[in-house]
């Protein structure tokens, strides 16, 4: 059985899947953290692997960038491959004044400018939220690992290059960071009765014109990856 975008067979994915946006990050995790990792997807170069971390079967599948791409891959994993939990591991722009470069954000909820929820034909505004079980486990794990994490709201945007000065408005509402995938992931999880969490490393602070170097992003990514893997094996 394959799907339009994933070539694996049922059973090729673990119950828990980590999702970086970048396929090369998926490859990096498989090569550096998973024992016996096997490549389970290479359609469109959107790499996916399954292997063992500390005795637990874990998969890592790239999501690509933006809600439509995350929407496709997370939908197929939840609905066609019996995946139970997805933890996105990505980058975010820091929005709140207190957020610093390299901080790790746990997305308790996800505001969005996207119309993704329209498909559900609800008579109001849907509030996409993380699984409390995953969020609590990640928060406890971060404490044990001595990582500085912030828990709060994300703003999931359809645009990276935006013509409006809307970030200041989101800042006024206490939103911690901006990224582009969490809302679709949370809505797909809710609709499928599954669990999801978005963990992001702050790679830039657009309102302060600050950004990290490629090397710093790698270190930040490593901390986040270890947090996600350690969370995954305790579920």
Footprint on this chain of ligand HPA (rule: CB under 6 A): 91-93, 157, 160, 178-180, 203-204, 206
User: 132 or 160, CB closer to ligand HPA?
Assistant: 160
Which residue is listed with tokens 């490859």?
Answer: 27
101: Cβ contacts below 8 Å, ≥ 6 apart: 94, 202, 203, 204, 205, 210, 211, 212, 216
User: 41 or 157, CB closer to ligand HPA?
Assistant: 157
| Least distance CB 160 / ligand HPA (angstroms) | 5
Q: Which residue is nearest to ligand HPA (CB)?
A: 93
Q: How are beta strands 210-211 and 195-205 bridged, if at all?
A: antiparallel
| Least distance CB 91 / ligand HPA (angstroms) | 4
Quick check: is 204 catalytic? yes
User: 104 or 178, CB closer to ligand HPA?
Assistant: 178
| Least distance CB 7 / ligand HPA (angstroms) | 28
CA distance 193 to 122: 17
| Least distance CB 175 / ligand HPA (angstroms) | 12
User: 30 or 92, CB closer to ligand HPA?
Assistant: 92
CA distance 211 to 107: 20
Task: Answer yes or no: are the C-beta atoms of 184 and 73 closer than 8 Å.
Answer: no
Q: Which CA distances in Å does 174 have to 42, 98, 156, 196? A: 39, 10, 14, 22
Query: Strands, DSSP E only, in the chain?
Result: 16-20, 35-41, 48-53, 56-61, 85-94, 104-112, 149-156, 177-179, 195-205, 210-211
| Least distance CB 135 / ligand HPA (angstroms) | 20
Task: Answer yes or no: are the C-beta atoms of 209 and 133 closer than 8 Å.
Answer: no
The residues annotated as belonging to the active site are 204
């Amino acid at each position: 059985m394959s799907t339009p975008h994933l070539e694996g067979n049922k059973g090729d994915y673990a119950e828990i899947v980590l999702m970086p946006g970048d396929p090369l990050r998926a490859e990096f995790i498989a090569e550096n953290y998973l024992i016996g990792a096997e490549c389970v997807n290479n359609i469109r170069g959107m790499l996916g692997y399954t292997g063992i971390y500390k005795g637990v079967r874990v998969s890592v599948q790239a999501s690509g960038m933006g809600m439509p791409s995350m929407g496709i891959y997370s939908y197929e994993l939840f609905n066609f491959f019996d995946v139970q939990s997805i933890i996105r591991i990505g980058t975010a722009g820091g929005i709140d004044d207190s957020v610093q470069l390299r901080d790790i954000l746990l997305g308790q909820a996800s505001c969005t400018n996207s119309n993704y929820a329209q498909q559900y034909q609800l008579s109001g505004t849907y509030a996409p939220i993380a699984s409390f079980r995953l969020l609590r486990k990640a928060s406890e794990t971060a404490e044990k690992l001595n990582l500085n994490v912030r828990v709060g709201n994300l703003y999931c945007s359809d645009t990276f290059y935006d013509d409006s000065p809307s970030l200041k408005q989101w800042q006024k509402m206490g939103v911690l960071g901006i990224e582009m995938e969490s809302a679709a992931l949370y809505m797909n999880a809710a609709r499928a009765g599954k669990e999801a969490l978005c963990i992001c490393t702050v790679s830039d602070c657009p309102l302060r014109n600050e950004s990290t170097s490629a090397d710093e992003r790698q270190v930040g990514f490593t901390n986040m990856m270890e947090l996600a893997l350690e969370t995954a094996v305790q579920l």
